[in-house]
Amino acid sequence: MGKGDWIEHDGKGRPVPLGTLCDLRLINGEVAERVRIGPTSFTNDGTIIPASKFQWSGWRYDDGGPMAPKIKAYRLCKDEERERSVAKFRHLLTPSERETAHD
């Protein structure tokens, strides 16, 4: 599970950027662990639902979707995979002495 505290959600839309790793507590009390937030939808058995203009969001309470899978609270998880990727390429983002030296 994540290390942070639960953040209550107001049902007015997605409060975290796409790609964020979170634990989710649903209105029905279930907890989904280490979910990467994205625009994909799934059926109850985990099958991906193709994108459609008729999809509903677990983050919005007023969009007509079923209430059971709506998100009541979330907590941010440490994203070790992303941190490793950033560390691997950090040297490319930091200018060297030679690059910052003035003639």
pLDDT tens digits, 36-85: 887 766 666 767 666 666 678 889 999 888 888 899 999 999 877 656 66
Average pLDDT over residues 24-30: 93
Give the residue extent of every domain in the chain: 7-100
Q: Which residues of 30-66 are buried (b: 16+ CB within 10 A; e: fewer)?
A: eeeeebebeeebeeeeeeeeeeeeeeebbbebeeebe
Predicted confidence at residue 5, as pLDDT, reads 92
Considering the chain, what is the average pLDDT of its residues? Answer: 79
